[in-house]
Structure 1
Amino acid sequence: MVTAYFLLPLHLFGPHRPLLSWLVFVAGLALVAVGLLRQIQHVLADRTGTRPAWMITGLMCLTVLLFSSAYYVLARQQGQFIGLRTRVDALYFTVVTLATVGYGDISPSGQTARVLTLLQLLYSFIFLTAGATTLTKLLRGRIVRRGKP
């Protein structure tokens, strides 16, 4: 996934195609959210024959890469970010924001960048927290089952 992130033709998106850029981004987030919710249902329903741990982990990573891509594309607009110039910068900013560390070396300065950062925080709080909680529940259940004779 990380290799694909660095190879994606992100130059096709941006201020010259704002509607396409936002539609692809929102559609990506919606697909990840639906995928996470389905995997959460699989865990809660204790369905056999599925691999929700791998899917949840993959979808969480995909979320990080979606926001990184959006930040990178948005940073090409003048005045949106301070210090964000490369895809590595965008990935770094996404992870730092997800971890709520906020070193301050990269910061959203434009209104659109700030809204996108708020969206990442809310999306992470709702969907990634639910995914991580479900993943923890699943793994804890497996450990308990293996410990029983």
Structure 2
Amino acid sequence: MSSSQVGLRAWARSAAAVVLITGVYFVAPLPAARTPGGSPELRTIGFVAGVIVLTWLVGRQVGRALRRERLLAEQLAMLLTVVTLVVAFFAALYFLMADQFHGLRTRLDALYFSVVTLGTIGYGDVVPVGQGAKAVVIVQVMFDLVIVTSALTLIVGGWRSRE
């Protein structure tokens, strides 16, 4: 199989994963923020468990992407999938915590805020006001720094391997 075919297959898999992850995010049964859903301790344990699983998945994907035999197109496609997973995970958390945000009412609002946080733009139209929401945003910013660093590593590594 030629390198262009390998690259196209990687992008096709990534596009399918992005559609699937986004679709699951919009149809998954998530309780409204004001619906009682367990104790704060249970929610914290669930959040920590989710972050641990997400960290493992990101680490695994980045490790796979950094293999020398991977084409740059494959590396970037894998990174897109990881970014989509991280954005959807945090968007779901924000939607579940919507009562701790000003301006966040819908799943699209939560997804928008997650993407804006990833981009470090911060328009100010959606703002975390609760302490729990602020803590989750801090965790996402840390993840985002890791993702950006990983992207730079992939791109620079891809350029160096072609020299």
The TM-score bracket by the shorter chain reads: 0.7 to 0.9
Aligned to 1:110: 130
Aligned to 2:22: 2
Amino acid at match of 1:56: L
Aligned to 1:83: 103
Aligned ranges 1:61-76 → 2 under 5 Å: 61-75=84-98
For 1:2, what is the secondary structure of its paired residue? Answer: helix
Cα distance in 2 for partners of 1:130, 1:103 equals: 23
Unmatched tracts of structure 1, length 5 or more: none
Q: 1:102 to 1:56 in 2, by over 3 A?
A: same
Report how many residues are paired. Answer: 139
Point out the more displaced range, 92-101 or 11-20: 11-20
Aligned to 2:37: 16
Aligned residues of 2:32 and 2:96 also touching (Cα < 8 A):
no
Cα distance in 2 for partners of 1:141, 1:27 equals: 37
Cα distance in 1 for partners of 2:122, 2:114 equals: 10
Measured against aligned partners, the alpha-carbon deviations of 1:86-106 in whole angstroms (never above 9, x if no partner) come to: 000001111111111111111
Amino acid at match of 2:107: R
2:151 counterpart of 1:128: no
Aligned residues of 1:43 and 1:138 also touching (Cα < 8 A):
no
Aligned residues of 2:113 and 2:126 also touching (Cα < 8 A):
yes
Q: 1:2 to 1:44 in 2, by over 3 A?
A: closer
Cα distance in 1 for partners of 2:69, 2:51 equals: 25
Cα distance in 1 for partners of 2:24, 2:64 equals: 28
The normalised TM-score by structure 1 is 0.76
2:50 counterpart of 1:35: no
How far the C-alpha of 1:52 sits from its partner, in A, is: 4.5
Cα distance in 1 for partners of 2:51, 2:44 equals: 11
The normalised TM-score by structure 2 is 0.70
2:160 counterpart of 1:137: no
Point out the more displaced range, 102-111 or 4-13: 4-13
Cα distance in 1 for partners of 2:47, 2:128 equals: 18
Alpha carbon RMSD of aligned pairs, Å? 2.7
Point out the more displaced range, 19-28 or 59-68: 19-28
